[in-house]
């Protein structure tokens, strides 16, 4: 642990005295933390980022500097009040920290969230919630058992066009909903497999966590200079690829539109292309199809110029297409090939809601702010742990179907496949000591 001296000028506090503040620790200070999670949280004047943690000490120190530079500029006085930890468990033991941003690689999400919940820290957790369905169930149970607020980083719920699209569908504007087509970007193969020396100040063994030991190479982890898109996103050891990376966003919206946020599909089938050489082995082009008990078919496909990134919701009386438009959470995010965030088969479908449209969904103006307000007021946040777990589960179910290449039958209540030992064996993965749950 490395602890910086605490020099907090009173002008930084203002009306937000320590007793009124939410003190936040940032766990993981890489790309998504620097361009999205820290900037989106530090902007609130009742928040103080007091600590950062990263297994790469170089990144941890740069995270500390980023936060302190913000407060120095804000107050006009030198600021040096951010503590640095290499091990996130030391940050969780910091009694001054009320809440945490978890912006680590996917395979660490569930474990850190469980530990943070048990430490009674509120959690903003980058999606996806977990590497496996079993881990996601344990995460949701731990959060709910400890009464803390978890917000998953599915920020599309806080983007107006996605909420409006779901409200229009649930109010019957396109008739009876029949099919949802979810279009996701793909990932290229490649990556250098050559073993390299572990950089100084980087705890690589802990970074691998519960996954099997493999030699260090920079394309397996993250760049040592700069904050470009890291290679771990394209390694199945640490995540399932775009089916969870972007799927956790879009399939969450599909659930919102169908009112199936606490359930899941009953039938799943899928196929995908997987690389045969190189380090990066997540799926490429794919097609999946799922049936829900309400009769709606949800299909997943790889986006194309003809079928841009987003969701196409089709009903008996028309369709709605919704996307992020030109918005990106980080510079390396794919952008939809259409600049229109909301379209319909008939302009009348998109006319404003009236008293004849009784369904109104929760409104969030900004995703991190919604989490913080939930902490302050005790109101329900827009993407809590169980909703997040179910959204990720549907992505992982498709990934299992891609691997097995046959139709699967899922029980969303028991969270088990029906009479399928092979598929059920893929709900969990072995954990490497000492990083087991």
Q: Do 158 and 382 meet the contact criterion of CB atoms below 8 Å apart?
A: yes
pLDDT in tens, 340-370: 899 999 999 999 999 999 999 999 999 999 9
Phi, psi of 169 (to 5 degrees): -65, -45
**CA dist., res. 404 & res. 406, Å (int):** 6
Per-residue pLDDT averaged across 50-70, rounded? 98
Q: Do 276 and 128 meet the contact criterion of CB atoms below 8 Å apart?
A: no
pLDDT in tens, 167-201: 999 999 999 999 999 999 999 899 999 999 999 99
Binning pLDDT at 50, 70 and 90, where does residue 11 land?
Answer: very low
- Residue % of the chain over a pLDDT of 70: 92
Rg (CA), the chain: 22
Taking the chain, what is the end-to-end CA distance rounded to the nearest angstrom? 23
- Residue % of the chain over a pLDDT of 90: 91
Q: Cβ-count burial of 388 within 10 angstroms (0-12 exposed, 13-18 middle, 19+ buried)?
A: buried
**328 has a pLDDT exceeding 90:** no
């Amino acid at each position: 642990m490395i602890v910086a001296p605490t020099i907090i000028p009173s002008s930084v506090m203002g009306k937000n005295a320590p007793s009124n503040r939410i003190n936040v620790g940032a766990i993981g200070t890489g790309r998504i933390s620097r361009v999205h999670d820290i900037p989106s949280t530090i902007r609130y004047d009742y928040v103080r980022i007091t600590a950062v943690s990263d297994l790469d000490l170089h990144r941890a120190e740069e995270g500390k500097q980023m936060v302190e530079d913000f407060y120095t500029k804000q107050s006009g006085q030198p600021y040096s009040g951010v503590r640095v930890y290499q091990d996130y468990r030391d940050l969780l033991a910091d009694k001054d920290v009320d809440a945490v941003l978890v912006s680590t690689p996917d395979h660490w999400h569930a474990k850190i969230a469980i530990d943070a919940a048990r430490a009674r820290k509120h959690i903003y957790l980058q999606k996806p919630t977990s590497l496996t369905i079993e881990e996601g169930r344990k995460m949701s149970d731990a959060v709910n058992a400890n009464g803390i607020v978890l917000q998953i980083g599915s920020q599309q719920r806080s983007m107006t066009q996605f909420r409006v699209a779901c409200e229009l569908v649930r109010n019957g504007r396109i008739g009876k909903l029949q099919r949802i087509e979810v279009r996701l970007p793909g990932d290229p193969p490649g990556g250098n497999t050559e073993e390299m020396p572990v950089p100084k100040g980087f705890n690589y063994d802990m970074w691998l966590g519960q996954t099997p030991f493999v030699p260090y190479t920079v394309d397996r982890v993250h760049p040592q200079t700069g904050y470009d898109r890291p290679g771990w996103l394209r390694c199945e050891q640490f995540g399932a690829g775009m089916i969870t990376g972007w799927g956790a966003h879009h399939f969450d919206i599909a659930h919102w539109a169908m009112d199936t946020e606490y359930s899941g599909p009953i039938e799943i089938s899928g196929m995908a292309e997987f690389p045969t050489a190189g380090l990066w082995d997540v799926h490429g082009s794919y097609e999946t199809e799922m049936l829900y008990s309400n009769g709606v078919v949800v299909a997943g496909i790889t986006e194309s110029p003809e079928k841009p990134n987003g969701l196409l919701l089709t009903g008996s009386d028309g369709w709605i297409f919704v996307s992020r438009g030109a918005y990106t959470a980080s510079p390396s995010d794919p952008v939809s090939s259409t600049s229109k965030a909301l379209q319909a088969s008939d302009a009348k479908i998109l006319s404003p809601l009236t008293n004849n449209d009784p369904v109104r969904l929760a409104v969030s103006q900004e995703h991190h702010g919604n989490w913080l307000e939930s902490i302050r007021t005790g109101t329900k946040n827009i993407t809590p742990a169980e909703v997040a777990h179910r959204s990720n589960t549907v992505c992982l179910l498709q990934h299992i179907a891609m691997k097995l290449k046959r139709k699967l039958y899922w029980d969303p209540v028991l969270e088990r496949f029906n009479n399928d030992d092979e598929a059920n064996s893929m709900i969990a993965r072995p954990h490497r000591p000492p990083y087991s749950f």
